[in-house]
Amino acid sequence: MPITRKEALKNMAGIAALSVTGLPELSAKTSSPVAGRINHSVCRWCFNDIPLEEFCEKVVDMGIKSIELLTEDDWPVIKKYGLICAMGTYEGVSLTEGFNDPTQHARLHKAYERLITKAADAGLPNIIVFSGNTNGLTDGEGLENCAIGLEPMVKLAEKAGVTICMELFNTKVDHPGYQCDSSDWACALVDKIGSERFKLLYDIYHMQIMEGDIIATMRKRKDYFAHYHTAGVPGRHEIGATQELNYRAIMMAIADMGFTGYVAQEFIPTEKDKLGALQKAIEICTV
């Protein structure tokens, strides 16, 4: 028999009263996440004011396995604490002058030949690259130039066992003019290069601003993404309740896809207790 809205509310009140008496709340138990399926990393530049060795001690206690976007001089430091650098870079890397500009290829090849070799020797899984700004290039021209410039570096990476990852940025707020600002363009570049050693760094903050539809995109294109970055939208700050993304749901989706790479916190802390903010972010993202 159908029941009225009043009767339904009465029944719900009765159920709530039962839970208060100490009976188990089954819904809470069945929905609780399984811990330990995300490999946590953190981007060093967001916490540069904390001395590196002190930072290492603190992040190890949080269950973080990697501090990234470090240059080779810092790799031995974090290794002392059992940490790795999940995404390596080099001193003087440029976000705006990248592989879409043929006049930069000679310079970039010299830098990345060294970085790939050093990263392989140190056991780093990934290194970062950037498309650069368009400066009048069409999407097609930029794609072709990147493919040509990256081809010899990818061949070297294949031999070294290192994955080259191009990061996606937003061009609406933070990086106007950057070429690799859509998953369509980035995935087309991966397809054109056609190597398991060239993948994408999918920055969730940047792509929420550009495209949204984060979880659906990750599921559809999971084979293209080797690494993830986080930050709150809007503002690029803490990933808690003051921003629009549900990072717990996003991490559940990443884990459920069987992702075995790293997810790095890349938010700019606004709280006075920066390490406390990082701890909260790791707790949100531990599923």
| Separation CA 69–CA 72 (nearest Å) | 10
Instruction: Answer yes or no: do 6 and 80 share one domain.
Output: no
pLDDT at 248: 97
11 and 130: one domain? no
96: domain CATH number is: 3.20.20.150
Helix axes 247-256, 274-285, angle to 10 degrees: 50
Tell whether 9 and 23 lie within a shared domain: yes
Instruction: State the Cα–Cα distance between residues 63 and 279, nearest whole angstrom.
Output: 9
pLDDT tens digits in sequence order for the chain, 287 residues long: 444 434 443 444 443 333 333 333 322 333 333 358 999 999 999 999 999 999 999 999 999 999 999 999 999 999 999 999 999 999 999 999 999 999 999 999 999 999 999 999 999 999 999 999 999 999 999 999 999 999 999 999 999 999 999 999 999 999 999 999 999 999 999 999 999 999 999 999 999 999 999 999 999 999 999 999 999 999 999 999 989 999 999 999 999 999 999 999 999 999 999 999 999 999 999 99
Q: How far apart are CA 177 and CA 74, in angstroms?
A: 31
pTM value surpassing 0.85: yes
Whether residues 21 and 131 share a domain: the answer is no
In total, how many domains does the chain have?
A: 2
The residues that bridge with 178 in the sheet, in sequence order, are 133
Give the domain extent around 23.
1-31
